[in-house]
Amino acid sequence: APTDEETAVQWSLDHLFLDQNAVPTLVDVRRTPNAELRQKVLGQSIDYAANALVYWPIDSIIALFEANCRDRGRDPEQIFEEFLGADANEDLFWQKVKTNLQAGKIRLVFVADEISAEMRRVVEFLNEQMDPVEVFALEIKQYVSEDGLKTLVPRVIGQTSEAQQKKSNATRERRRWDESSFFAEIKARRGADEAQMAREIYLWAKSQEPEVQIQWGTGDAYGGFAAQLPQKGRKPYQLFTVDIAGRMEISADNYGSRPPFNVEQNWLELRSKLSSIGLSLPTEPGERRSPSLALFTLQEESALKQVMETFGWVVEQIKTL
């Protein structure tokens, strides 16, 4: 996990998992805990939750997932479909992972063969206080019978009734964003000017209906909308997302892995047009990257108009399929 966008890896994890809700689970495996370990657990929990995850680029997580699939001789898309179903939107899933990271919605799991009473109290305290972060300890004891049969017995520690109530209340408070709530929130966070730029982009997308549809995100801390083209029998073609942090973002792989932009000539033309509005695509179509631009850079009417004209061209190219 990096400390900022420029530095190399400073911390390491034993395992990084993602659940069906796109919540990252960070796993640290230790031998029997002691006083020194308790201090490390406390420090590491705060470090990951408050610092490292802010700068963890989603592209690096995707790259790790794909590398793991290759090492196991599996196709990443096949594993994704087995995990979430054939109808799941992969781009939206990764966007949700990114949102959860930015919001600090993560799960920390410390694994040991024995969890002391002192360690248990530390974990329970952290889990009750670090909302929305979840903190657990997993004790895995080994028992061996007289005939040599080994049995591993796991026990999850940290889920107190108070922590459960806090987390369940937070889950119930999660909402699906809509036009009213989104523009009220972005105005409060980013100001009237950026809110108006976001509205202009939103109204442009609405004007392209039914070819273009709006998909609202879900989340209590981060949210936004995606403009996408429905594709019969396939997942929607996502054009871009706009979030309450004042960013427009695209998925390079979403474009480069599908017609018509998986053809070199078309990809180069797309790169040129998107580059002119501040969205830099990678050289290779299959490379995973999520270029973004800040809405405040579109204060000039001509700049905003160019963005909408560019995506209008993109829509026309996709419609020719």
Q: How many CB atoms lie within 10 A of CB 301?
A: 9
**More confident site: 207 or 244:** 207
Instruction: Check pLDDT > 90 for residue 195.
Output: yes
The model's confidence at residue 8, banded by pLDDT at 50, 70 and 90, is very low
The whole-angstrom separation of Cα 74 and Cα 67 is 10
Tokens of 26: 């960070």
pLDDT in the model for residue 271: 94
Determine the Cα–Cα distance for residues 17 and 67; give it in Å rounded to an integer. Answer: 14
- In this prediction, residue 81 has a pLDDT band, given cuts at 50, 70 and 90, of confident
pTM: 0.55
Residue showing tokens 């781009």: 91
Give burial (CB, 10 Å; 0-12/13-18/19+) of 242. Answer: buried
Q: Of residues 117 and 317, which shows the higher confidence score?
A: 317
Is the per-residue pLDDT at 313 higher than 90? yes
Percent of the chain at pLDDT above 90? 30
Is the pLDDT at 276 greater than 70? The verdict is yes
| Burial tier of 49 (Cβ tally within 10 Å: 0-12, 13-18, 19+) | buried
Are residues 5 and 57 in contact, defined by beta-carbon separation less than 8 angstroms?
A: yes
Q: 197 vs 170, 200, 203, 291, CA distance in Å?
A: 31, 5, 10, 18
What residues does each domain of the chain span? 15-173, 179-319
54 versus 214: which is more confidently predicted?
214
Average pLDDT over residues 13-24: 86
How large is the average pLDDT for residues 298-308? 93
